[in-house]
Amino acid sequence: MFQSIHRMSAVGAVCLTILGCSGWSKETREVTCASDEAYAAYREGLDQAYRFHPEEAFEALRRATELDPQFVMAQVRLAATARGLGRKDFADSVLAAAYQQREVASPVEALLVERTYALAQDDHERGMEIYHELVKLAPDNPWVLRLRAEEARRQQNFRQALVFYDRILETDPEAIEIHNLKGYMYLGLGDYEEAIRALQRYAYYAPDNANPHDSLGEAYLYEGKYELAMQEFVRALEIEPTFLWSATHLAQALGITGQFRRAEQTLDELRPVFEERDQLKWLHLEQLKLAYLAEDWPRTIAIAEAQLPLPDQLPAMDTEWGVWVHYARTMGYLEMGQLEEAQAALAKLTTFLDSFQKKTAIYGAFDSIFEINRAALRSRFARKRGNPSEGIDDLRKAIAASKMSPHELASFRHELAEALLATNRPAEAAEVAEELLEKIPTAPRMNLLAAKAYHEMGQREPALEHLRTYLEVMRFADEGNPRVAEATKLLQQMVPRS
Amino acid sequence: MANLLSSQRLLIVWGALALLVGVFSAYDATRSRPTDGAVWLLGGDQIRIVDTEPGGAADRAGLEIGDIVEGIDRQAIRNPRHASQLLQSKSAGDRVPYLYRRDGEVRETTLTLDSTRMANVRTYIVYCLVGLIYFMAGTYIVVRRPGLTAARLFFVLCTMFLIYFFSVSERSIFYYWSDLFIRNMGTLASLMLPPLFFHFFAVFPQRRTWLESRPWLVPLLYALPVGFYLDFSWKQLFGSSAASINATQQMALGIYFTAGLASLVRTYAGSSDTDMRQRVKFLTLGTVFGTLPFLVFNIALGRFIGQSEWSLLGAVPMVLVPVSFGYSIARYRLMDIEVFIRRSLIYALLTGLTVGAYLVLVVLVGHTLLDVSGQNSQLVAIVATLLIAAAFAPARERIQGFLERRFFREKHDLQQALHDLARVLPHTLERDTLIHLVETRIHELLHPTNFLFLSADPDVLTFSSEEGELPLLHFSRMLRRRGSAATPEVIQSELLRLARRHEASRDEFRAEMRLFERRGTELIIPAFAGERLVGAIALGPKRSEVAYDGAEVDLLQIVAGQMGVQLENTRLYDAAVERKRLEEELGVARDIQQRLLPSDVPRIDGYELAAVNLPSAQVSGDYFDFVPFGECVGLVIADVSGKGLPASLLASNLQASIRALSSSQSNPGEVLRIVNDTLYASTDSTRFATAFLACLDRDTGRITYSNAGHNPPLLRRASGEVEWLDVGSTPLGAFPSMQYGEAVVELEPGDCLVLFTDGVTEAEDPNGEFFGEEGLESAIHAHSEDGAAAVLQGLRDAVDHHTGPVGAADDMTVIVVRMLDEKGASLAAARP
């Protein structure tokens, strides 16, 4: 009897092992697909897309749809990829086909197709409705999680977005583009270390693409690791010499560190590309920022004026451009003492901000952005009019109420500190400076301001430390940089020659 | 373990599996697969590096223990299995980027993958050879002694050694399933070797009493290592920490090894049996000196201290264990295993090896000489080679001879046994010594479980049992017919065939065969001397349970033949010795008898006396005597029972007694009474004597007599009447306290009294007819007118005539007493 039991146990164990192995080795699918080959092609397409290989992604996804003509999720991805490649008509036809046969897919997939179709028709309201249905139906579906993260991001709820992104990675570690999105979430939260880690991962998984390096460069830039940032931007440009984002970011980094000539040169080299892509406004925007940063007010005004008039209907992605044009023009006139022109520019800026705020009211989260911009403007104006204390409180409140990241708040904090220093409140100015420097220790302008504040307070050591930091960051600055000269002079005052 | 040891089939399967594992390990060790030189756990959901190979790819790339690998080859890792699949798709030498996390920092590095192929191939080959030697030794022993628990244990032990040595490839990278499997098997062997080692030496060479009385200890022995193994396997597959045999476990296993060694040494040192000590001596030395280096270099230094560069020093001596076993088997028949290697095979192997080594040596030496001498000439090279070959040839022959003596021990032993016996047997003349010698030699050579020598007396073997001596008539007949060795089954079948032919009872045959069956006889070898069956050797099965082969049966037949001849010689020798002894005894007895007899017949006036003693081939106890009996002449004739010296001595004793008593007694009856009591008290019941004692009054012719069981003397009167003088009692010495009556007869002139012994009346003619009393009477009547001497002679002639040329078988003693005629007048005057 015991022998029989032993034999049966052995056979049972073998069967379980085989079943377990077969079950273990079988891949689970997150999409409805009738063909293993189609699924494999779909996964390959996704992977190529995540790695910013749109052509390869397009081919793989098209192969998936040919192998399984009813593979609706592959069709949706194919449409998105085609649209990114500028093949709009093809994208529309594929999306329409997916929409027609969405019933063969799972309920979640059908809704996803329907939502994509609605958004392609600019029916955002319907899109939002379907979104809420999807969240109710399958809150943990990877695609729904992406939508939820997107929504959270739109609401500026970066932490919630990160939660959703982490859940996506748990089920699909190969969704490498999530690392990029996470990076930007962390940047939005001002958690630069985590942002860098996420973007380092992204750069590892997609090393032969410029975008990851550009994103990583951005993270370094916002954290104040300017040299690392520039290395990444250069790397991105090596991978893709016409990657304009990296060019502009590199110009920013160069500008922050006072290397304006190099920055201009970088932008000029890519002018033909900007022109070719009909993106000259972005070139101008960067030039405007550089001029502003260099405190070259005449040039600032010139560039800003050259952009005008702005179109009445600006797309959302051009908001920054529009804001900067008006802002820089206003500040330029203000700094040059042309108060009337400044007032007129301010009026246009305010009108622009108001109208855009209405447009983006649905999102709600942008209100604080507009408010802080207004507060900063008021403070600057008051200071220029000789009444620096006016507007300080509003600006301080606006900064406190803002959910912007430290690097986004840097200029506003700088404005506040300048105002406080101008009202002989160096301690408060130093405090404001330290708040920013805690997050971005190498922020050059704030280091200089802090040095001045401590110097006024008679605190030599912190003043010297900040000066040294400033001069270290600005060591490659163009010759004759006035701020560098100012810092050098101040240093000389504090450290007499022996 | 008990099931594994008890089932031969399981053992075979286990052995095959172990060999498969070994072969697979060796094959896998030669495979070149990519490795990153990092050790991580398969359990868990992330890849945490728990170790890196010094100088390995991970180490070179800067990876450290504790790093968490997130990406390999630009791919996000889902789990360790995914990582292993990724690596398996690469090749050695590929540069693979790794993404890892350390202290919260995300970093990237590039590894150049190494190969898993065995780096130190030479060391591994040595390990494999050691493992193979163990496996072959274990297989050989279990094949030869499949029923012996110790042999099976040894086999399992050797298979574990095989697995252990084959899996020692210093592999630590186990994200290939083969790595997992081999390491798992290697660990199994590492864990099971110590308890097996201990278990083996607890049952071999002597089974320990503590184990015998507590069989439940056996599963307990293995419980701990099995637990370690299960724990290791679990950790290996699912654990979150590295699977290994930790220091505490190593120590526990070391205790097993030590206990096993101690048991073996104790058996050797404590054994009083010299044969056992001799057998176990080399085994003990081999095991101790083979195991100690392993414990020191591989366990202590290798695992505890981490210095594994000495591992070869620990592994190579391990080969001493199977080698010492092999030597003990070959030399001392350890486990009662015969080394039985076919001559053709051993010739092929040994000759090939020896010749090969010889040629290599010749060539090497030749080359060396040429190099040293600087000679380049081909002729010189050829001559030098030939000279060296000639010089080494005797050495080669000696080596081969040595090997043949060792490996052909069995045949050598058989030949030697024959030689020894042929030398010794002719000088052995004592039967028991001869049988003992043969028995001892056969035991030494063949180790039968029992040995029995059946004597034949003659031609019929006798089986000695509790029931007594049982003649094996049918069996002996069959053996004589067959004339050669046979098993009982063969003999039985032939016997039954014979029974059918002769319509004899099968039961008788079967009864005879059952005697052998009860003894467990496996082989019967008859011993002949010429045509005579003089005995047979019955052997039980060999202790090794191997059947008697042809060579052994031939040997036994030769030995039995020699034995038969020598047995016959001993018999003849014994007979000759007995004959000589009898002759000597006969001589002495005859001498005594002659001394008993009066040298002369007394002269008595008025009477004629004649007496004679005619001895036969065998001296009997007859005597006659004339003794002074008071005033009378005592006439004595007696016949003592038995033959030879004892009878003569008794007769002498009787004569002395009668003579002594007759000097003091006057009554024959009284004399006989006293002599009877004396004789009865001094001899056993088989010794007695018949006697006739008469007292002759010479003056009156009156004869007073008493007859103690003797042939009644014949009194022939002158008238021709015959009287038989039979008054008396029983023979002397037969019964105690007997009264012997007396009677009186008076002789008349012309009367003839004849006293005789039964040799006269029981003389047989060729037809077996006795001479009898009638013949006696006739003879006396025929010489009634003759004198005593003539009567005596006439009686002798009559007996001779009766017996013919054969002669009388017994002594004949006769006394004739005749009263003369002229005596009658004086008698008439003398009588009242």
Range in A134-148, B362-376, B797-811 with the lowest mean pLDDT: B362-376
Highest mean pLDDT among A41-45, B205-209, B470-474, B641-645: A41-45
Residue B773 contacts by C-beta under 8 Å, 6 or more apart in sequence?
B714, B724, B761
pLDDT digits (tens, 9 = 90+) for B577-608: 888 887 787 777 777 777 778 888 888 888 99
ipTM: 0.78
For residue B206, give the DSSP letter. Answer: S
Judged against a pLDDT cut of 60, whether residue A274 lies above it is answered with yes
Please tell me the distance in Å from A204's CA to the nearest CA on chain B: 6
Contact B77 A206 (CB under 8 A): no
Chain B positions in Cβ-Cβ contact with residue A21 (cut-off 8 Å): none
Please tell me the distance in Å from B177's CA to the nearest CA on chain A: 13
pLDDT at A465: 94
Chain A positions in Cβ-Cβ contact with residue B106 (cut-off 8 Å): 196-197, 200-201, 204
Judged against a pLDDT cut of 50, whether residue A264 lies above it is answered with yes
pLDDT at A155: 81
Nearest residue on chain B to A177, alpha-carbon basis:
B76
> Are the C-beta atoms of residues A39 and A64 closer than 8 Å to each other?
yes
B78: nearest CB among A173, A193, A206: A173
pLDDT digits (tens, 9 = 90+) for A67-124: 999 999 999 999 999 988 888 899 999 999 999 998 888 899 999 999 999 988 888 8
Handedness of CA B518, B523, B527, B533 (dihedral sign): positive
Judged against a pLDDT cut of 90, whether residue B295 lies above it is answered with no
Judged against a pLDDT cut of 50, whether residue B549 lies above it is answered with yes
Strand partners, B448: B542
> b/e for B674-711, b at 16 or more Cβ within 10 A?
bbbbbbbeebeeebbbbbbbbbbbbebbbbbbbbbbbb
CB atoms within 10 A of CB B191: 27
Picking from B82, B98, B106, B110 by the largest number of A CB atoms within 10 A of its own CB, the best residue to mutate is B106
∠ CA A227-A233-A239, nearest 5°, is 140
**What does CATH list as the number for A36-138?**
1.25.40.10
Contact B70 A201 (CB under 8 A): yes
Range in A6-20, A125-139, A212-226, A366-380 with the lowest mean pLDDT: A6-20
In this structure, the dihedral spanned by the alpha carbons of residues B214, B218, B219 and B223, taken in order and rounded to 10 degrees, is 120
Q: What is the mean pLDDT of chain B?
A: 81
Q: Supply B408's token pair.
A: 């052909």
Contact B106 A176 (CB under 8 A): no
pLDDT at A234: 94
Residue A20: pLDDT band (50, 70, 90) is very low
Fold classification of B430-568 (topology level): Beta-Lactamase (3.30.450)
A204: nearest CB among B78, B105, B108: B108
* CA separation for the pair B172, B59 (Å, rounded): 14
- Helix/strand/coil (H/E/C) assignment for every residue in B148-167: CHHHHHHHHHHHHHHHHHHH
Chain A positions in Cβ-Cβ contact with residue B101 (cut-off 8 Å): 197
> Are the C-beta atoms of residues B49 and B63 closer than 8 Å to each other?
yes
Contact A205 B108 (CB under 8 A): no
∠ CA B409-B411-B412, nearest 5°, is 60
pLDDT at A231: 94
Nearest residue on chain A to B105, alpha-carbon basis:
A197
pLDDT digits (tens, 9 = 90+) for A175-204: 888 999 999 999 888 899 999 999 999 999
pLDDT at A260: 93
**What does CATH list as the number for B33-115?**
2.30.42.10
Chain B positions in Cβ-Cβ contact with residue A174 (cut-off 8 Å): 75-76, 78
Give the side-chain half-sphere CA count within 13 A for B416. 10
Residue B678 contacts by C-beta under 8 Å, 6 or more apart in sequence?
B657
**Helix, strand or coil, per DSSP, at residue B683:** coil
CB atoms within 10 A of CB A353: 21
Contact B74 A197 (CB under 8 A): no
Which CATH number, 1.25.40, 1.20.1540, 1.10.1060, 1.10.3470, labels domain A279-353?
1.25.40
pLDDT at B756: 95
Nearest residue on chain B to A174, alpha-carbon basis:
B76
Judged against a pLDDT cut of 50, whether residue A25 lies above it is answered with no
- Between B96 and B808, where is the model more confident? B96
Whether A36-138 shares its CATH topology with A279-353 is answered yes
pLDDT at B510: 75
Domain ranges of chain B: 2-14+125-335, 33-115, 343-407, 430-568, 597-830
- Phi-psi sector, B262: left (phi>0), alpha (psi -120 to 50), beta: alpha
Question: Which B residues, 54 through 113, put their C-beta within 8 Å of a C-beta on chain A?
Answer: 70-71, 74-78, 97, 99, 101, 104-108
Judged against a pLDDT cut of 50, whether residue A292 lies above it is answered with yes
A445-464 average pLDDT score? 93
pLDDT digits (tens, 9 = 90+) for A349-362: 888 877 777 766 65
pLDDT digits (tens, 9 = 90+) for B239-264: 655 666 777 777 887 888 888 888 88
Residue A443: pLDDT band (50, 70, 90) is very high
pLDDT at A24: 41
Chain B positions in Cβ-Cβ contact with residue A173 (cut-off 8 Å): 76-78
A462-491 average pLDDT score? 92
Contact A205 B75 (CB under 8 A): yes
**What does CATH list as the number for B597-830?**
3.60.40.10
Whether B2-14+125-335 shares its CATH topology with B430-568 is answered no
Range in A336-340, B288-292, B324-328 with the lowest mean pLDDT: B324-328
Q: How many residues does chain A have?
A: 498
pLDDT at B822: 67
A258-262 average pLDDT score? 93
Question: Which B residues, 328 through 367, put their C-beta within 8 Å of a C-beta on chain A?
Answer: none
Residue A21: pLDDT band (50, 70, 90) is very low
Domain ranges of chain A: 36-138, 279-353, 365-424, 435-498
pLDDT digits (tens, 9 = 90+) for A335-390: 898 888 888 888 888 888 777 777 666 555 566 677 888 888 888 888 888 888 88
Chain B positions in Cβ-Cβ contact with residue A196 (cut-off 8 Å): 106
Highest mean pLDDT among B74-83, B221-230, B255-264, B466-475: B221-230
Nearest residue on chain B to A198, alpha-carbon basis:
B106
pLDDT at A19: 40
B792-805 average pLDDT score? 91
Residue B353: pLDDT band (50, 70, 90) is low
B205-224 average pLDDT score? 79
Contact A204 B97 (CB under 8 A): yes
pLDDT at B742: 94
pLDDT at B502: 60
Residue B464: pLDDT band (50, 70, 90) is confident
> B731 preceded by cis ω (within 30°)?
no
Which CATH number, 3.40.50.300, 1.20.1070.10, 1.10.10.10, 1.10.246.90, labels domain B2-14+125-335?
1.20.1070.10
Instruction: Identify the residue whose tokens are 């790695």.
Output: A51
pLDDT at A30: 76
